[in-house]
Structure 1
Amino acid sequence: MAEVLFYHLTESRLEEALPELLERSLAKGWRVVVQFLTEERRDALDHHLWVYKDDGFLPHGSDAEGSAALQPILLTVDAAQESNDPHVRFLVEGATPRSLDRYVRAVYLFDGHDGEQIARARERWAVEKAAGHAVTYWQQTDDRRWVKKA
């Protein structure tokens, strides 16, 4: 079963929090897929990951580019997309996976100021827990650190 983490964004935007979590995944030698609801958000984050810091970038690509299998980090809107043989699946914007059984870890990042994303996260918590996954809930403090709450 997968380890499933729920990250409740209260102080940071997705564009601020996700790159650090992706860096940590790559440092463990994991391949990653990030699932979005919309192509617009996928494409915006695709651009952001090339320029989010001055001294580097995250190696990644979008499934819209045709080289999905080669990407250490693959950005997609397709719940079935696993072409890059990922270890970790990140789910943003309220995206729903097909299944998490094949993953080492899954990470739901949800905006604490968006009622729909909060409701979706609660729903997915119940689904993932019922499926037997080890679920944990993390919330940001005022200084943007993550604290395990459940």
Structure 2
Amino acid sequence: MAEVYFYHLTRSRLDQALPDLLEKVRAKPWRALVRGRDIEKLKQLDTALWQYKEDSFLAHGLIGENHDSDQPILLTNQLDNVNHAEILLLTDGAKTTPQEVALYTRVCLMFDGNTETELTAARTDWKALTDAGVPAQYWAQEDGRWTKKAEKKAD
């Protein structure tokens, strides 16, 4: 069964933390679907992914552009897994269900810990998913590194 990893952003913004995580995803090499709710925020992420490092290239696309199904990383506000991703990364309060989690190798939920709305939503999501028997890990930023703070195993 797939696990859900909760990433509590406290020291960096999503556009700073996401590229490093996506590089690890691609090193597997897994395909990734990055789902948000707001297409304008996804466009900002798209720009950030193209510009985050001068010496690196992170191939990706934004939904509705050319060759969505061929993209190794696809930014979307839709539910369909059109690029056949193994990893689903949720941003901007995007939601998932236990049934959807089962379709992926891993689901990552990234949330801004400095925003009460996102923090509350992540707590609600943790409870709903773990109560449904989905294994989950909670990671928080500490001293520039990710530290595992909690884990709930499958029942």
TM range (shorter): over 0.9
- The unaligned stretches of length 5 or more in structure 1 are none
Q: Give the TM-score taking structure 1 as reference length.
A: 0.94
Question: In structure 2, the residue corresponding to 1:65 is in which secondary structure?
Answer: coil
Q: Give the TM-score taking structure 2 as reference length.
A: 0.92
Inter-partner Cα distance in structure 1 for 2:108 and 2:76: 15
Which residue of the partner structure matches residue 122 of structure 1? Answer: 123
Verify the 8 A CA contact 2:61 2:68 in the aligned structure 1: yes
Verify the 8 A CA contact 2:3 2:101 in the aligned structure 1: no
> Within the alignment, does 1:135 sit opposite 2:121 as a pair?
no
Alpha-carbon shift at residue 134 of structure 1 (Å): 1.3
Inter-partner Cα distance in structure 2 for 1:128 and 1:74: 24
Which residue of the partner structure matches residue 145 of structure 2? Answer: 145
Question: In structure 2, the residue corresponding to 1:75 is in which secondary structure?
Answer: strand
Which residue of the partner structure matches residue 40 of structure 1? Answer: 40
- The unaligned stretches of length 5 or more in structure 2 are 151-155
Alpha-carbon shift at residue 66 of structure 1 (Å): 4.1
Inter-partner Cα distance in structure 2 for 1:110 and 1:45: 14
Which residue of the partner structure matches residue 21 of structure 1? Answer: 21
Amino acid of the structure 2 residue aligned with 1:24: K
Inter-partner Cα distance in structure 1 for 2:21 and 2:129: 20
Which residue of the partner structure matches residue 81 of structure 1? Answer: 80
Q: CA-atom RMSD, angstroms? A: 1.1
Q: Which moved more, 1:125-134 or 1:40-49?
A: 125-134
Count matched residues.
148
| Displacement over 3 Å in runs of 4+ | none
Inter-partner Cα distance in structure 2 for 1:76 and 1:110: 17
Question: In structure 2, the residue corresponding to 1:64 is in which secondary structure?
Answer: coil
Alpha-carbon shift at residue 144 of structure 1 (Å): 1.7
